[in-house]
Amino acid sequence: MMATLDFSIAQYGTVGPLNGKLSRGQVREILGDGFDVFWKTTNSLNTTDAYIQLDLHVYYDERDVVKGVEFFERSQVSWSGHKLVGETSSDVLALFRRNGIDPVVDDDGFEVGELGMGFYVHGDDGLITALYIDLRREALGG
């Protein structure tokens, strides 16, 4: 088993070792075995790879090129040295605002368009349960 991967975000289009130019095969070389393949929705254009140990899903376009990555509570995704998932939305919103970024808040969570991030917040406790990162500005849909 590989060492823990660092999924830090420095700029739009990259999270840790992943970016929107990688093929499915390249992603699997980077992240290793231990994934399940599934259809996220009935309208999906391609299957999604779920990496259970890393607590993330990788989405691909119809050409098998990465579109985005969804991180869940046990994942180690971070921005500016701060963990983003499994934290309270108030803490993460304050982090972005301190750094001059004003997230757009809606009923499901909030978005940070500058970094291609969409956060899903659990209603009752304000806990961030998932984060989708769009790795390609032109990639739409799932």
Q: pLDDT tens across 8-45, in order?
A: 998 899 999 999 999 999 999 999 999 999 999 998 88
Sign of CA dihedral 56, 76, 9, 120: positive
Q: pLDDT tens across 90-125, in order?
A: 999 999 999 999 999 999 999 999 999 999 999 878
Checking if the pLDDT of 89 tops 60, the result is: yes
Checking if the pLDDT of 136 tops 80, the result is: yes
User: What pLDDT shows up at residue 113?
Assistant: 93
Domain extents in the chain:
7-134
Contact status, residue 104 vs residue 111, Cβ threshold 8 Å: yes
